[in-house]
Structure 1
């Protein structure tokens, strides 16, 4: 039964992929090659790019910096959300900052940030800028939705702070954190690379995208876009699996 379900999903995925490949090929017939690359030229460019050390160096540098920004935003967002859940005054103080971070366009932020910051570090700050408000809001929402009856029970049975965290708060937060990570991984990647396109740090994906556009290498431009999409999907699935495994491990230890 399980194999049949998996095979159906595989067939459905292949049909969907085939449909969009055909649509892509048809669309490429209506545009000049200098402006729009079809599937075949894009795959050729992709294979060519992945054979160069410069491409892997750019991918490594960009991923490292965006990961630093993402982790810093995630940790600080969780910590400040917990603090604001405990102290309403701190929440009032942070509210304007979070609203500004939610509202200011990434391009505007990058241009201003480059006045004080070296372009080599812009992707770290940009990733932090787009991830922090989403993490903070989701974690704060999860904390506010924690079951009050469970907290009362924990107080009656005199649960330690550690046991309350593992048995009550973390299970309540898990859906919010996982949902947040699914959104913010892609946001961090898009925001960080957008910052690189403006700041043009050396050996970065943003620089490669800019050069492809500058020299009208549309196949390379599409190929880099596919690389970014692939990295985003891979990181999202990896992070969600890690969080699910961590949640399962905590539930087992609590039992």
Structure 2
């Protein structure tokens, strides 16, 4: 989104270059018309512009434009909304995707002219343009949403679920932001497709009062000037609708960001943080796809602090996912706070790039922090000039500190941090550790870190995982 909003202004030289290209082709058109020597066969640009100037002031012109615009816009809007909804549902439920696949693929491939002829027989000429537009646009939107969902990074959505952020806020802050670029790219073509399909349907059906009927009448009466004039109108309307819709679509990114951030409840109405909850792992085997990587037995009392001090690759991040309920253990029993009762910071960065640091904190605060409180919290870790900038403009170390502040700002019973001080220099490391201690407020703390000295900085007990031996691997592979 930042890239969309920060596009450089068009230079005057570029404007002149484009205007020169248009003038060149107008000249070619005029010379071709003069060479043919008959406006009946090829009306020149001067003749067409004169005829267009005569048409525009008439009531019939605007009536025809309104007739076609209303139906094409209605067909496009329904196709966009239904394609978006069904695309999201099909991504979630594979059975629905399989059910819809033959029908949508058929609509994508069938010639639109054949569909228009059938529609004229079934619904008549007045409704045919809106339905034709829908059938032409729907597959493009549907497949675009599916592609965007499949390519989306699930990491941020996982974190927001663990932190108890409601589904509709997750959709606006994460899903919609990732889908938006796909939809914008698709709609650049879909808007033009809509006008082509709609006018083609009107041209074949010739409903009274439509632009298609005017084009058809111009053809019958050999009024080439009118034919070119109406064609220019269709092209201009298609271009204007594309620009207007794309501007509206892009603006939804900022609107969605603002709507996803919860407003702070009044201090007297804020819910108190839940009491600390312990974390227990009894004879747990960690691993992926049946392959064990580590074993663990831990018992963290409510309000205790523990640092897993194993080296990189020992399975600490895997344990964090198990504690957060994102990965099932291969064996053993896990007791941990449920989603919404956990604050978490994962090893990989998971922030809303289009949001500011303050908005990222507020998104996970469950309405327990005001904008001023989020600002003050972040100011303990970040320079002032970084607080109001989009995350995309911050350095790796600054992003890490935003994630740390977000985790501590979330009202929870336990805090789980995976390599929270990565990308920080020695001084920032100490400041961040002191920040955690200061804002832990008695909650249970589990930290995965291979940095030496973190147990002392956090006043925590060190612990280690056990490596899965060859016997464990053999038993699980046989199962």
- TM-score (ref. length: structure 1): 0.95
Residue from 37, 50, 60 that aligns with 2:56:
50
Report the Cα offset of residue 164 of structure 1: 1.1
Q: Mapping of 1:170-249 within 5 angstroms? A: 170-249=176-255
Higher relative CO (Cα under 8 Å, sequence separation at least 6) belongs to: 1
- Which has more radius of gyration? 2
Measured after TM superposition, the shift of residue 116 of structure 1 is: 1.0
Greater fraction of residues in helix? 1
In the alignment, what sits opposite 2:83?
77
Is this contact kept in 2: 1:142–1:173, CA < 8 A?
yes
Equivalent residue in structure 2 for 1:163, among 154, 164, 169: 169
Partner Cα separation in structure 1 for residue 59 and residue 110 of structure 2: 36
Q: In 2, Cα distance between the equivalents of 1:11 and 1:85?
A: 46
5+ residue gaps, structure 1: none
Separation in structure 2 between the aligned mates of residue 15 and residue 61 of structure 1, nearest angstrom: 35
Report 1:53-64 matches (<5 A): 53-64=59-70
1:51 counterpart SS class: coil
Tell me, yes or no, if the aligned pair for 1:146 and 1:168 is still in contact at 8 Å. no
Residue 18 of structure 1 corresponds to which residue in structure 2? 23
Output the CA distance in 2 between the equivalents of 1:4 and 1:252. Answer: 26
Q: Distance in 2 between matches of 1:177 and 1:20?
A: 32
Q: Find the aligned partners of 2:163 and 2:41 in 1 and give their Cα distance.
A: 68
Residue number in structure 2 paired with 1:94: 100
Select the structure that is richer in strand. Answer: 2
Tell me which of 27, 31, 34 is aligned to 2:32: 27
Pairwise CA distance, 1:252: 4.1
| Structure 2: gaps (5+ residues) | 1-6, 262-358, 360-479
The 8 Å contact of residues 196 and 205 in structure 1, kept in 2 or not, is answered as: yes
Deviates more, 1:100-109 or 1:144-153: 144-153
Aligned-residue offset at 1:11:
1.0
Q: Secondary structure at the match of 2:40?
A: coil
Superposition deviation, residue 62 in structure 1 = 0.5
| Greater than 4 Å deviation, 4+ residue runs | 2-5
1:170 and 1:4 mapped to 2: Cα distance? 27
Sort the Cα spacing of 1:33 and 1:132 in 2 relative to 1 into closer, same or farther, 3 A.
same
Shift of 1:24: 1.1
Cα deviation, residue 179, structure 1: 1.4
Give the Å deviation of 1:27: 1.7
Q: CA-to-partner distance for each residue in 1:145-184, whole Å, 9 max, x for gaps?
A: 1102222222322221012101110110110111122111
Give the number of aligned pairs.
254
